[in-house]
Amino acid sequence: MATTTPRLLFFFCVLISVGILVADSKFMVYNTSQGIVPGKLNVHLVPHTHDDVGWLKTVDQYYVGSNNSIQGACVQNVLDSLIPALLADKNRKFIYVEIAFFQRWWRDQSDAVQRIVTDLVSSGQLEFINGGMCMHDEAATHYVDMIDQTTLGHRFIKREFDVTPRIGWQIDPFGHSAVQAYLLGAQVGFDSLYFGRIDYQDREKRKNEKSLEFVWQGSKSLGSSAEIFSGAFPANYEPPSGFYFEVNDNSPIVQDDITLFDYNVQERVNDFVAAAVSQANITRTNHIMWTMGTDFKYQYAHTWFRQMDKLIHYVNKDGRVNALYSTPSIYTDAKYATNESWPIKTGDFFPYADRINAYWTGYFTSRPALKHYVRTMSGYYLAARQLEFFKGRSTSGPNTDSLADALAIAQHHDAVTGTEKQHVANDYAKRLSIGYMESEQLVATSLAHLVESASYTGSGNPTTKFQQCLLLNISYCPASEVTLSQGKKLIVVVYNSLGWKRDDTVRIPVINEDVIVHDSEGKAIESQLLPLDDVHLGLRNYYVKAYLGQTPTKTPKYWLVFTVSVPPLGFSTYTISGAEGAGASSTRSSVYTFQSREKSTIEVGQGNVKLSFSTDQGKMTNYVNSRSLVEESVQQSYSFYNGYNGSNDKAPLIPQNSGAYVFRPNGTFLITPEEKASLTVIRGPVIDEVHQQINSWIHQITRLHKEKEHVEVEFIVGPIPTDDGIGKEVVTQLDTAMATNKTFYTDSNGRDFIKRIRDYRTDWDFKVNQPVAGNYYPINLGIYMQDNRTEFSVLVDRSLGGSSTVDGQIELMLHRRLLLDDSRGVAEALNETVCVSDECTGLRVLGKFYFRIDPLGDGAKWRRSFGQEIYSPLLLAFAEQDGDNWKNSHATTFSGIDSSYSLPDNVALITLQELDDGKILIRLAHLYEVGEDKDFSVMANVELKKLFPRKKIGKATEMNLSANQERTEMERKRLVWKKEGGSSGTEKGVRGGPVDPAKLVVELAPMEIRTFLIDLEQKFFHRRHHHHDDVSDV
């Protein structure tokens, strides 16, 4: 007993003192006001949430918080709880990124809440970072879509809050593109760009060299004038281990109430300092950033801010390091103020692997049908906005807003990438479909206004009813499948959204076999009928039933093909009618089928390009261009990779399957044509075709257009068989004898081409563990290779993955069907199926690629000009007409620009759009890089007055890329960073000069994009009185 007395006395003393403390305790006020402290390590705490605009749940499910059996996530809760948390302490800060979510929330708020939020934005407590509708992907996105979705978000922020985002925040995309850095970073006006994912080998080297932060020069052409300060996070976009504070997170909280058990202030301060010092050891300057948040966090924001308040308070009392609430803007300014010199980065960050055997190069191709739908809608949206401008924008009637929103969301890094769950992919497609239907109405009424303008005198709506055919890719077009008898004619209006005159072929299914085609002037033109083969008919019937729930009532027998000539930003009209009299109708194609046992060589092509095929091998053998005198042995084949099953991996390797994200092949298997395979040759005056059934699930048409000098290859792949229990990834290879020395070139988001060297990385000593997957790159426009004589170019109709894994060969991955998940969070195998009457089969994919061989140095002209034609296909609208009076009562040609003008061959009009305020948004893009072409890599001039011939330009204001600030203002604020090695290798790059307000001529240097807001003093087609001279006679 005696030995316990002192302990009891001590215990009673503690109780008494605790009682006094409890009696005297007051509300604890934490000092969170600390700013930057010179001479100390400053830890910038950046509170953020990463809110995927669809992934495991749809965008709306994420917003409202439904379908929580998949994932407990509700963005509405995040934003609802954030506002009172910020109001509780003026020093607290938060950044928000995804405007698709914020816009939904903003529209739901009262005027009072909106005023509070506006004040929080004005004070800098709430800052918009990145500011696009989504955090777009950087591999599978086209630069025009990246610009459009960013502009949509930036203009919303400008309109509602009068602020311009300063920082790029691409923290989750799976690799990073040069276009993101110089175009969607520097040209938008961002002062810095931060991201989370770089290759694990690259990250280790950069940590050792303290080069995780650098100045990125993404453009060879624009050089230092378009560079941006960039930072890759040390691990990911999450807090350091042990500092997660969502309600259910298991990190230790700061327990600072000494009246309660588990008091741990010093322990938590020590943890904080240790983590800070560890990060400081791999970071230059005395500033580090902690990303305090991750996916869908802050659903109860107070749980985070309460702990960060305490950490800032106690860490600063401790004094070893300085902690502060911050944002990426504050952090960037602090870095800039240090006057440090930074290493230079060129090129891009593809491909990305997060560990050995885990190259995220599969998603370059995943969900190829969705990727094509996105690309198709992108080109359609560009054309629809032009027609919306010509007619006059309506906020109440049909407009392009719905398609704009759907396309913006589809650029998300778990949308067009194909890395979302199937029900979410369906949701993206549904949104695109809804947007298309409204834009389709708009296009139809706009074209009706334009064709009727010659005789239009009354008020009300035009009477012409145009139909369009979105399902032409599956040979289904009810508008063209009409019986042409008793004087009935089919009117085809062909719209060209490019800025130069275009000669191309149109291909539509028809019922009649005796038809004749007349052009805009009434002259009969050459046309060709090709039989509609059983493979395409089967595809048509199956997918029409799948999409529309009905079987087509008619079966067209033929494709009708004819050549059209269409003015820039304009249309031509073609009339299809029943042929009267012998000899006047379309030419029936000759058809000859060769069996594989026949040993012979056949040649196809009636223009400059000719291809040879070996009938017994069933494959292409030779390419000749008689104009350029190029001849090359070319062979094409198909193969598949078996998807790897990671259960075969043994420790210390982490099991890794091939899946939606990761491409991990397990052997290559050549697909040889089956013994009974035949080769069918179809010839005619417009095109020649070679049809091949490669095997039971691959069909191909090789097509040569008489007036073109490239080869078009159309493929149908699928259903990919999986009855052996193994997923497969299907590729095609084009083999030549070219000596390419491991080198090839792929595009960056459809803009610059970047040099690739097999098994090599510019920035580090590359250790090869996946020789195929580790050499795959994203392709949006094309891929090419060259030797000392020729260059071989391949262009694509959607984003996909490709490589040159063998010298002289180009490989494209066309389709993937896998049975295992690759453990990156989606928790679902990439196994796309289509169901009809409850019977499901693997997805079939129809697509095209194009190739051409040129003398060395001549390939860029085709890649750039034809690349524009792929992105912006001709838009077809159909109407029926009885009798011969169409030409008398309708305009048969139109050009939206001056009839004597077209854009230079090296310039594209990538935006022509009337905004809500009546201003016109226009973007002009130079299509060539410095040194890419001897004729076109030069300064180009565009006369704005010629683009608006029937209107007077009141004012043309040059803007930044996303049109939320004047370019002069953006340039004035621009931070110029010091770089290691002085100015060597940092040429500024040439830019076009200022625009004279009187002459209104825009200069464009190679790879330059210039953006203008234009005030027009006169509106065209906005009124109900039109005159014949409103329509150009082109």
What's CA 1020's distance to the chain center, in Å? 33
| pLDDT attached to residue 1018 | 62
What pLDDT is recorded for position 884?
73
Residue that is written with structure tokens 């080869």 in the block: 711
pLDDT (tens digit, 9 = 90+) per residue, 38-75? 999 999 999 999 999 999 999 999 999 999 999 999 99
Residue range 525-546, pLDDT digits in tens: 999 999 999 999 999 999 999 9
Give the other-Cβ count within 10 Å of 20's Cβ: 10
Closest by CA to 136, choosing from 592, 780, 566, is 780
> Got the DSSP string for 4-54?
GHHHHHHHHHHHHHHHHHHHH-------------TTS-EEEEEEB-B--SS
Q: Six-digit token pair at 299?
A: 């659903």
pLDDT score recorded for residue 1017: 87
Rounded to whole angstroms, how far apart are CA atoms 422 and 366? Answer: 12
d(CA 934, CA 928): 10
Q: In one letter, which amino acid is 796? A: V
Q: How far apart are CA 426 and CA 957, in angstroms?
A: 41
C-alpha distances (whole Å) from 958 to each of 460, 915, 968 are 37, 16, 8
State residue 935 phi and psi, 5-degree precision.
Answer: -100, -35
Q: Which of 664, 780, 135 is nearest to 361 (CA)?
A: 664
Q: Determine the 3-state secondary structure of 846 from DSSP.
A: strand
Closest CA relative to residue 761, chosen from 233, 140, 204: 204
Location of structure tokens 């050891």: 281
As a whole number of angstroms, the distance between CA 562 and CA 504 comes to 8
Contact 963, 921 (CB under 8 A): yes
The angle at the Cα of 227, spanning 223 to 228, to the nearest 5 degrees, equals: 170
Compute the distance between CA of residue 815 and CA of residue 796 in angstroms, rounded to an integer: 13
With beta carbons less than 8 A apart as the criterion, state whether 444 and 877 touch. yes
The pLDDT of residue 581: 59
pLDDT for 871 beyond 70 = yes
- Of the two residues 778 and 881, the one the predictor is more confident about is 778
Share of the chain above pLDDT 70, in %: 94
Span of 34-38, 381-385, 595-599 with lowest mean pLDDT: 595-599
Q: Does the global pTM surpass 0.85?
A: yes
Quote the mean pLDDT of the chain. 92
Residue 583 has pLDDT above 60, yes or no: no
Buried b or exposed e, range 324-339, using 16+ CB within 10 angstroms: bbbbbbbbbbbbbeee
Residue 100 has what pLDDT? 98
Mean per-residue pLDDT for 937-945?
97
Residue 908, token pair as written in the block = 């594209």
Q: Residue ranges of the alpha helices (H) in 647-792?
A: none
Residue 460's CB is within 10 A of a number of other CB atoms, namely 7
Q: Could you check whether the bond before residue 652 is cis, i.e. omega within 30 degrees of 0?
A: yes
Residue 410 in this model has a pLDDT that exceeds 80: yes
What is the Cα–Cα distance from 15 to 4, expressed in whole angstroms?
17
> Alpha-carbon distance 30 to 52, whole Å?
33
Q: What is the CA radius of gyration of the chain?
A: 31
Q: ω before 351 within 30° of 0 (cis)?
A: yes
**Residues ≥6 apart with Cβ < 8 Å to 549:** none
- Asked if residue 627 lies in contact with residue 659, where contact means CB atoms within 8 angstroms, the answer is no
Give the pLDDT band of residue 984 (cuts 50, 70, 90). Answer: very low
pLDDT at position 1028 over 60: no
Quote the DSSP letter at residue 838. T
Confidence of residue 460 (pLDDT cuts 50, 70, 90): low
- pLDDT tens digits for 811-836? 999 999 999 999 999 999 999 999 99
Please give the pLDDT value at position 1022.
Answer: 41
Q: pLDDT tier at 26 (50, 70, 90 boundaries)?
A: low
pLDDT at 484: 87
Reported confidence tier of residue 838, pLDDT bands at 50, 70, 90: confident
Decide which of 917 and 908 is more confident.
908
In the predicted model, is pLDDT for residue 1026 greater than 60? no
